[in-house]
């Protein structure tokens, strides 16, 4: 009887172990399927919604333009002839900031967060400054970005 | 002919026995009020969501380039498409409202107490899964509203230290909300979550049948009536009341689910002003705006959710009458008032 019980216990554990191991083996490919891919290497070019490069000449003095970089939506402004690039994603809840030339600030329309022209958070709920990028413009006028 | 087929099937699988055991000979307490019909209303609304959802799937295209156009096509070109879409969208709102009412009645009547703790736990999980369904479904039309409301909602976990950014990235499948996000949310919304709700609801009903239905704490529950047809008629009264509400909104106030930003296609490069979540997230949204630190806000909300979920383990006294439990009654009352104030505040802020 005792031998039967221990044999039964062993078989129960064996069934549990086999099913558990099977579940783990099956789970691995499904979990890896869900993990997003990192973006590929190469130049971090600023592009429009159709993935075409935005050119230096597209951005006028005191104007702004929002495009995509590998890090997400990015805003570029031209002040005193010089280009400045910052992440357009508000550090509060991810809405996109707009450049307000009259005030010289970036404004988030969702919760009225404000950042100065250097990206520093100056008013409202944003907890951190905007990410600033260094800019390189190639011969064709394409804008490449690198975190400052 | 039909009767002969039925008799032949019944002889083999005893259908009438099931009918008697679970419907006509299944007795429930006679003193049940309309609050006890909320579960039946939820089952009807869930069925409506499933049916309308299947019909919407026929024309919907889960791709960022075509999603908005396909939804516009359903509303404008497909016969009765506007009706099916409105019923689906407004029905989801009504489902959340009735679920809140159902949980409120369980709270007030102390029906979460022993031996019905499991009902409460499963019900809380159903609420969480339902809100996830609503969030995932909100993105599918790929409108300005859906895109930016999803961007804001999926940004909240970003404030969790260490893993926050990874969580946001994992939920979205990419950095900004994109095709990867739409694919994930679509799969969750049309298959994983409805299936999960179906399983959870089955467990909920199963444990209710095992423990027996609760009775209002002010009745003794000795007098009984058959579930079918007596109690089903009581259920039907409440079901048709909520169906009337649904169709009043569908025909006369559809803008409740379709504000102007829902009529523009998503533009990932331009955030419209005053983006707000649906009404059932407004209290959370407003609270997070009020608390200076986002992570602290999430911790606060998590704590509230923790206490609500584990309520049956925290409140073990047998007394169910709310007027005999003044501290509990005051906490519930203040909680509901806070929820309403934050919701209204969030709407107008």
- Residue A77 reports pLDDT greater than 90: yes
Q: What's the confidence (pLDDT) of residue B293?
A: 82
Q: What is the pLDDT of residue A1?
A: 58
Tell me the shortest Cα–Cα distance from A25 to chain B, in angstroms.
21
A3 and A60 in a single domain? The answer is no
Per-residue confidence at B322, pLDDT binned at 50, 70, 90?
A: confident
pLDDT for A50 equals 84
Closest CA to A91 of A123, A46, A122, A121: A121
What letters, b where the CB count within 10 A reaches 16 and e where it falls short, cover B195-227?
A: ebbeebbebbeebbeeeebbbbbeeebeeebeb
pTM for this prediction = 0.89
CB contact (8 A) between residue B174 and residue A67: no
Question: What's the pLDDT at A2?
Answer: 64
Q: Is the pLDDT of residue A42 over 80?
A: no
| Within a domain: A40 | no
Residue A119 lies in a domain: yes
Show Cβ contacts of residue B168 under 8 Å, excluding neighbours closer than 6 positions: B154, B155, B157, B158
* pLDDT over 90 percentage in chain B: 79
Kindly indicate the confidence band of residue A148, based on its pLDDT and cuts at 50, 70 and 90. Answer: confident
Are residues A142 and A73 part of one domain?
yes
Pair A25, A61 in one domain: no
The answer to whether residues A81 and A11 belong to one domain is no
Q: Do A73 and B173 touch (CB under 8 A)?
A: no
pLDDT tier for residue B320 given thresholds of 50, 70 and 90: confident
- Phi/psi-derived region of residue A141, left when phi > 0, alpha when psi is between -120 and 50, beta in every other case: left
Residue A39 scores a pLDDT above 80: no
Domain-located, residue A45: no
Minimal CA separation from A11 to chain B, in Å = 29
Q: Is residue A41 part of a domain?
A: no
Q: Which of B271, B274, B294 to mutate to test the interface with A (most CBs of A within 10 A)?
A: B271
pLDDT at A118 over 80: yes
pLDDT band at residue A38 using 50, 70 and 90 as cut-offs: confident
Q: List chain B residues with CB under 8 Å of A98.
A: 271
Q: Is residue A70 part of a domain?
A: yes
Of residues B293 and B144, the one with the higher pLDDT is B144
Say whether both A79 and A143 belong to one domain: yes
Do residue A30 and residue A79 come from a single domain? no
Structural domains of chain B in order of their starting residue, each with its CATH number: 1-27 (no CATH), 31-281 (1.20.810.10)
Q: Does A95 touch chain B (CB under 8 A)?
A: yes
Structural domain that includes position A18: 1-35
Say if A62 falls within a structural domain: yes
**Mean pLDDT (whole number) for B129-142:** 96
Let me know whether A134 and A76 are in one domain: yes
Considering Cα of B275, then B277, then B283, then B288, what sign does the dihedral take? negative
> Do the Cβ atoms of A109 and B269 come within 8 Å?
no
Phi then psi for residue A79, to 5 deg, are -125, 125
From the list B159, B174, B275, which residue is nearest A36 (CB)? B174
C-alpha distances out from residue B70 to A20, B54, B221, Å: 43, 15, 53
Residues of B in contact with A34 (CB under 8 A): 170, 173, 184
Least confident of A49-53, B127-131, B141-145, B306-310: A49-53
Cα–Cα distance between B184 and B46 in angstroms, integer?
22
* CB-based contact, A35 to chain B, within 8 Å: yes
Residues in B closer than 8 angstroms to A110, CB to CB, are 148, 152, 271, 273-275
With CB atoms and an 8 Å threshold, state whether A95 touches B275.
yes
Check CB contact of A125 with chain B, cutoff 8 Å. Answer: yes
Residue A90 has pLDDT above 80, yes or no: yes
Average pLDDT on A126-140 reads 92
- Tell me which chain A residues have a C-beta less than 8 angstroms from the C-beta of B159: 127
Here the ipTM equals 0.81
Task: Kindly state whether residue A42 falls inside one of the protein's structural domains.
Answer: no
Point out the residue among A49, A71, A95 whose CB comes nearest to the CB of B271: A95
User: Which whole number is the average pLDDT over B323-346?
Assistant: 94
Instruction: Assess whether A27 and A64 both reside in one domain.
Output: no
Q: Are residues A15 and A60 in the same domain?
A: no
Q: Is residue A49 part of a domain?
A: no
Average pLDDT of chain B, as a whole number? 94
Q: By mean pLDDT, which of B62-76, B143-157, B191-205 is the weakest?
A: B143-157
Q: pLDDT band for position B76 (50/70/90)?
A: very high
| 8 Å CB contact of B273 and A109 | yes
Of A68, A71, A127, Cβ closest to residue B294 = A127
Asked if the model's pLDDT at residue B226 lies above 80, the reply is yes
Predicted pLDDT of residue A3: 67
| DSSP string computed for A65-129 | EEEEETTEEEEEEEETTEEEEEE-B-TTTSPBPEEETTTTEEE-TTT--EEETT--EEESS--SP
Please check the confidence at residue B235 and state whether its pLDDT lies above 90.
Answer: yes
Q: Are residues A25 and A61 part of one domain?
A: no
Give yes or no for a contact between A40 and A51, defined as CB atoms under 8 angstroms apart: no
Sheet of strand A64-69, all strands in order from the earlier edge strand to the far edge: A64-69, A72-79, A82-87, A132-137, A143-147
- Looking at residue A122, which CATH number applies to its domain? 2.102.10.10
Same domain, A67 and A31: no
The residue-averaged pLDDT of A72-86 equals: 92
How confident is the model over B13-29, as a mean pLDDT?
Answer: 92
Percent of chain B past pLDDT 70, that is, above it, reads 100
Higher pLDDT, B218 or B16: B16
Beta carbons of B152 and A36 less than 8 Å apart: no
Closest chain B CA to residue A66: B269
Number of domains within chain A? 2
Residues A13 and A65 in one domain: no
């Amino acid at each position: 009887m005792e031998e039967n019980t221990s044999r039964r216990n062993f078989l129960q554990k064996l069934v549990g172990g086999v099913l558990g191991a099977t579940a783990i083996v099956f789970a691995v490919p499904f979990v890896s399927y869900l993990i997003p891919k990192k973006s590929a290497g190469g130049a971090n070019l600023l592009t429009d919604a159709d993935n075409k490069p935005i050119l230096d000449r597209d951005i006028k003095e005191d104007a702004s333009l929002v495009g995509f970089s590998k890090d997400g939506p990015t805003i570029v402004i031209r002040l005193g002839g010089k280009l400045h690039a910052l992440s357009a994603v508000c550090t509060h809840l991810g809405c996109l900031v707009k450049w307000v030339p009259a005030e010289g600030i970036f404004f988030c329309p969702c919760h009225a967060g404000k950042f100065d022209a250097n990206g520093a958070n100056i008013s409202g709920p944003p907890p951190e400054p905007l990410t600033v990028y260094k800019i390189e413009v190639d011969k064709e006028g394409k804008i490449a970005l690198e975190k400052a | 002919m039909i009767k002969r087929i039925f008799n032949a099937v019944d002889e083999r699988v005893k259908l009438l026995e099931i009918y008697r055991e679970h419907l006509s000979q299944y007795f429930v307490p006679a003193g049940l009020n309309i609050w006890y019909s909320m579960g039946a209303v939820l089952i009807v609304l869930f069925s409506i969501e499933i049916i309308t959802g299947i019909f919407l799937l026929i024309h919907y295209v889960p791709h960022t380039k075509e999603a908005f156009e396909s939804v516009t096509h359903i509303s404008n070109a497909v016969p009765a498409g506007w009706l099916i879409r409105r019923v689906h969208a407004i029905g989801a709102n009504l489902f959340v409202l009735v679920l809140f009412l159902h949980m409120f009645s369980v709270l007030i009547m102390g029906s979460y107490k022993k031996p019905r703790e499991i009902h409460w736990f499963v019900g809380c999980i159903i609420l969480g899964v339902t809100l996830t369904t609503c969030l995932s479904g909100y993105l599918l039309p790929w409108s300005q509203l859906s895109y930016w409301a999803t961007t804001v909602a999926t940004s909240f976990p970003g404030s969790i230290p260490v893993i926050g950014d990874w969580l946001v990235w994992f939920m979205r499948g990419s950095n900004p909300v994109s095709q990867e996000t739409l694919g994930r949310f679509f799969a969750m919304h049309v298959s994983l979550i409805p299936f999960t709700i179906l399983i959870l609801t089955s467990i909920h009903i199963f444990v209710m049948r095992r423990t027996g239905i609760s009775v209002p704490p002010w009745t003794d529950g000795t007098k009984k009536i058959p579930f079918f047809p007596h109690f089903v008629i009581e259920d039907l009264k409440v079901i048709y009341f909520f169906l009337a509400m649904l169709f009043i909104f569908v025909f006369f106030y559809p803008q409740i689910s379709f504000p102007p930003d829902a009529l523009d296609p998503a533009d990932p490069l331009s955030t419209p002003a005053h983006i707000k979540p649906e009404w059932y997230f407004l209290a959370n949204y407003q609270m997070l705006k009020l608390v200076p630190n986002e992570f602290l806000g999430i911790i606060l909300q998590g704590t509230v959710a923790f206490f609500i979920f584990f309520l049956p383990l925290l409140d073990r006294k047998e007394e169910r009458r709310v007027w005999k439990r003044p501290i509990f009654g005051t906490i519930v009352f203040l909680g509901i008032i806070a929820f309403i104030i934050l919701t209204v505040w969030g709407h107008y802020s």
